[in-house]
Amino acid sequence: MKYVFGPVPSRRLGQSLGIDPVILKTCNWNCVYCQLGRTIPLTNQRKEYIPTQDISSQLEQALEDHQKGGADWITFVGSGETMLASNVGILIEQIKQITKIPIAVITNGSLLYLPEVRQELLMADAVLPSLDAGNAKLYKRINRPHPQVTFNRLVNGLKLFRQEYHGKLWIEVMLMKDLNDSVETLTEIASHLRVIQPDEVHILLPTRPPVEPWVKPADQEGIQRARDIFGSIARVVNTTDGVFELAENENLVDAVVDIITRHPMKESELLETLKKYSKGNVQNTLIILEKSRKAQVVTRYGERYWSAILSHYPD
């Protein structure tokens, strides 16, 4: 398994070279909208899940392969909660010494109440934590957190981090129909945002396959409500489709699995990507991928998505 993958087309970061510092579904949340399946079991232990040297050597190789402007950002995006990896801070320092490509960290923000986590993130160019609810009850319903990562710790951590961090703080709100898109719920979220004072609020929609089949993206009325209530710092981040970069020095099936373990792909996206890399019939490649027992097809919103076989989705 490669820990550095892509670049992949990102909604906000152009072509993003990804770093995954944790093992699949190592997470302290079990969000109803997660595209990577259910978290079984929840974990809240910080440690070095992947050796720092393994990640560093793969990153150096990836930067060499894409030295002609192939990556706009280097993004830490875990197949779980990124900051459960205790070596993210060390890796950020190492990256700063070898490239000028900006660094983003996507995190649920649940561990920002810890001083050491905030310190590790200070050198990142952008940090993207989540705030999907404005009260503890809705937080538990949507994010289904580990008992130790309470709503108060989440919000207080975001406030403390804003006071210390001088990079781009972009808070993500996953907007779901009949869950957090009402005037009341959005107003509660906005009350915390006014105190935290992020640079931007990114309104996301669960357009990748949400783990729970009953989760639906907010409609246009809900999106407009969010924009009106959050104000001028809010922007709607739409899904970016495109061709994914696969590792050419790797078996094609394994290269696809490296991507879909962190970033499930629409079948149409996968077919377009395979046209670039597959020397034979791309449909045959899909058959080989399915028979490999490393991938699965998940259907949401009438679309077929390819994800890692170890990700658990209910029917």
Half-sphere exposure of 145 (CA within 13 A, CB side): 23
Q: Which CATH class is domain 4-264?
A: alpha beta
In the three-class reduction of DSSP (H, G, I as helix; E, B as strand; rest coil), residue 183 is classed as helix
Mapped onto helix, strand or coil, the DSSP state of residue 23 is: coil
CA 71 to CA 24: how far, in whole Å? Answer: 24
Q: Alpha-carbon dihedral of residues 152, 156, 157, 163, nearest 10 degrees?
A: 170
Conformation bin of residue 210: beta by default, left when phi > 0, alpha when psi is -120 to 50: beta
pTM greater than 0.75 (yes/no)? yes
| Residue found by looking up tokens 């820990």 in the block | 3
- 3-state secondary structure labels for all residues of 220-282: HHHHHHHHHHHCCCEEECCCCCCCCCCCCCCCHHHHHHHHHCCCCEEHHHHHHHHHHHCCCCH
Sheet strand arrangement including 200-204: 4-10, 14-19, 73-77, 103-106, 126-128, 168-174, 200-204, 234-236
Query: What is the DSSP-derived secondary structure letter of residue 171?
Result: E
Sketch the domain layout of the chain as residue ranges.
4-264
234-237 long-range Cβ contacts below 8 angstroms, 24+ apart: 234/200, 234/201, 234/202, 234/203, 235/200, 235/201, 235/202, 235/203, 236/203, 236/205, 237/11, 237/12, 237/202, 237/203, 237/204
Q: What is the pLDDT along the chain (315 residues), one digit of tens a residue?
A: 589 988 887 878 888 999 999 999 999 999 999 999 999 999 999 999 999 999 999 999 989 887 766 789 999 998 999 999 999 999 999 999 999 999 999 999 999 999 999 999 999 999 999 999 999 999 999 999 999 999 999 999 999 999 999 999 999 999 999 999 999 999 999 999 999 999 999 999 998 899 999 999 999 999 999 999 999 999 999 765 555 667 666 688 888 888 888 889 889 888 888 887 766 678 888 888 888 989 999 998 888 999 998 898 987
Looking at residue 161, what is its pLDDT?
A: 98
